[in-house]
Amino acid sequence: MTAVSLSTSTAAALRADAVVVAVAKGPKGLVLAPGSEAVDEAFDGKLAEVLATVGATGADGEAVKVPAPATLKAPLVLAVGLGDVAEGGYAAEVLRKAAGVAARTLHGSKKAAFALPATEAEAVEAVALGAQLGAYTFTACRSDAANADAKTPLAEAVLVGGKRGDKAAKAAVERATVLAEEMNRARDLVNQPPNDLFPKSFADIATVAAKEHGLKIEVLDEKALTKGGFGGILGVGGGSERGPRLVKIAYTHPKAKASLAFVGKGITYDSGGISLKPAGHNETMKCDMAGAGAVFAAVVAASRLGLQVNVTGWLALAENMPSGSATRPGDVLRMYGGKTVEVLNTDAEGRLVLADAIVRAGEEKPDAIVDVATLTGAMVMALGSRTFGVIANDDEFRSTVHTLAEEAGEPAWPMPMPAHLRSGMDSTVADIANMGERMGGGLVAGLFLKEFVADGITWAHLDIAGPAFNEAAPFGYTPKGGTATAVRTLVALAEHAADGKL
């Protein structure tokens, strides 16, 4: 992973492979962003003119390279676009994206000086996080020869122009590094092929991390799940030779005054079960455990940041496969806690494993439960591929989660739970069916989960089906493949609770 450090040197004085500056779109053309002064001086005040000559416009996501003059100690200048000029300073997300673009563009370089407009701690953290996320690559499944031929990620990013002894900036880099390492952990999990990552191996990975970071962990295997009556997890995982697991991983702080439960959908591969997915919809279904990956990473991040809050992660892990032992459409499952569910579609499996885990999480009476899941294609249809939906049983809490997500740089949108949709899940043979009306399917799924939240517990559901896995080209600091969506939102919520604001 890219190392990030701070330097009081100017961009002109630091020896590096490249110097990164930022440019923006002004009313009269290209504008140099603050931080680029020393580099502009090396160009005799004509850096903007040179960049414009080779086509730079300052557009968001743009990256333009020019050779550096001899007065710079780096041979290359990389200008990244910030979009429209912002007189009052650039938003953290704008800086994160620009730093991510720079890090991706500089694959193969060992060291780069980042001379971006980042003097305050929030901006420093944004640049540090963006650089580390943008440099991410997943190489675990490539041969040594293939990795040798590929360009390696940027090894070191030096943020120049800082103040000597700036403790706030140092703390900002440290926080960014924790977030980046845990987000990249979640990305690695999502990108792992399903023949390597399955319920037991995921549980083993969590066990190793728990030991490393002093977390409490409990893993329920098939025998324990059967004894406990976890019919949802067992029903979904019954068709696979690789049995399901429920993992509880907990971080506690002696001064905590609030407790949170995060529940993650962990379908390590989703074939759809007996209700088999059509051709063309299977290839990315290794990402159906992205919710559990985000929960796992968020709990570890809370621990590493030393947040004064208790956070428990529940990873509901199963592989949804068709076989002679698989759950059939028409079967009735007795869920943990006793409620019965008629399974009308085995491809609506995520809500079944989540329901078991939500009931179990509620027994510990946390102040709030948040579940995270790649749950419905309907939410992707509603919000697109970059925004996740937020559903809750409390309007104020839904607004809080939405606001924290947006502030963290994760696009989200509050969604309703229309009461009239509940009747579509009425069953003639069980307490509830796992399917309802097709239209508004993302909202129906939220209504289903709400049925398993204990009275008096605040709850929110994050449907991350759109942004959890990027099938398009990389953008900003977001790679192709796993994105680690929701990690920052969960960590922000934990910080919010630690500050007594829950």
Q: What is the mean pLDDT of each run of 10 residues along the chain (502 residues)?
A: 95 95 96 97 97 97 97 97 94 98 97 96 98 96 75 94 91 98 98 98 98 98 98 98 98 97 98 94 95 98 98 98 98 98 98 98 98 98 98 98 98 98 98 97 98 98 98 97 98 97 90
Measured between alpha carbons, how far is residue 438 from residues 315, 376, 379 in Å? 28, 11, 12
pLDDT at 251: 98
Measured between alpha carbons, how far is residue 394 from residues 368, 397, 460, 494 in Å? 10, 5, 8, 18
Note whether 110 and 192 are same-domain residues: no
The answer to whether residue 32 is domain-embedded is: yes
Write the CATH number for 116: 3.40.220.10
Domain coverage including residue 486: 183-498
Q: For residue 139, give the nearest of 174, 182, 107, 179 by alpha carbon.
A: 107
How far is CA 452 from its chain centroid?
Answer: 25
For residue 72 the two structure tokens come to 């710079």
The answer to whether residue 393 is domain-embedded is: yes
pLDDT at 34: 96
Q: For residue 116, give the nearest of 14, 2, 20, 3 by alpha carbon.
A: 20
The answer to whether residue 174 is domain-embedded is: no
Reduced to 3 states (helix: H, G, I; strand: E, B; else coil), residue 86 is coil
Note whether 131 and 242 are same-domain residues: no
Note whether 240 and 115 are same-domain residues: no
**Whole-number Å distance between alpha carbons of 167 and 138:** 33
Question: What type of residue sits at position 252?
Answer: T
CB 430 within 8 A of CB 332: yes
The answer to whether residue 354 is domain-embedded is: yes
pLDDT at 176: 98
Active site residues per annotation: 277, 351
**Whole-number Å distance between alpha carbons of 200 and 243:** 7
Note whether 379 and 463 are same-domain residues: yes
Note whether 203 and 122 are same-domain residues: no
Cα-only R_g, the chain: 24
pLDDT at 149: 61
Note whether 137 and 210 are same-domain residues: no
Q: What are the helix and strand counts (H, E) for the chain? A: 15, 20
pLDDT at 280: 86
CB 239 within 8 A of CB 265: no
Residue 258 DSSP symbol: -
Note whether 340 and 226 are same-domain residues: yes
**Whole-number Å distance between alpha carbons of 491 and 125:** 15
The answer to whether residue 303 is domain-embedded is: yes
Give all strands (DSSP E) within 453-496, no chain letters.
Answer: 458-463, 469-470, 481-482
The answer to whether residue 178 is domain-embedded is: no
pLDDT at 164: 83
The answer to whether residue 211 is domain-embedded is: yes
Note whether 296 and 444 are same-domain residues: yes
pLDDT at 162: 87
Segments in 192-221 forming alpha helices (H): 199-213
Note whether 201 and 326 are same-domain residues: yes
Q: Are strands 156-159 and 216-220 parallel, antiparallel or unpaired?
A: unpaired
Residue 2 phi/psi, 5-degree rounding, is -60, 130
Write the CATH number for 397: 3.40.630.10
The answer to whether residue 175 is domain-embedded is: no
Q: Which residues pair with 67 in a beta bridge?
A: 76
- For 339-363, b/e burial (b = at least 16 CB within 10 A) is bebbbbebbbbbbbbbbbbbbbbbe
**Whole-number Å distance between alpha carbons of 11 and 32:** 14
Reduced to 3 states (helix: H, G, I; strand: E, B; else coil), residue 234 is helix
**Four-CA torsion 341, 440, 314, 230, nearest 10 degrees:** 10
Note whether 153 and 213 are same-domain residues: no
4: region left, alpha or beta (phi > 0 left; psi from -120 to 50 alpha): beta
Number of domain units in the chain:
2
How would you write 146-186 as a 3-class SS string? HHHHCCCCCCEEEECCCCCCCHHHHHHHHHHHHHHHHHHHH
Note whether 107 and 60 are same-domain residues: yes
Q: For residue 111, give the nearest of 81, 89, 127, 135 by alpha carbon.
A: 135
Reduced to 3 states (helix: H, G, I; strand: E, B; else coil), residue 137 is coil
pTM over 0.85: yes
Note whether 199 and 120 are same-domain residues: no
Q: Which residues pair with 219 in a beta bridge?
A: 247
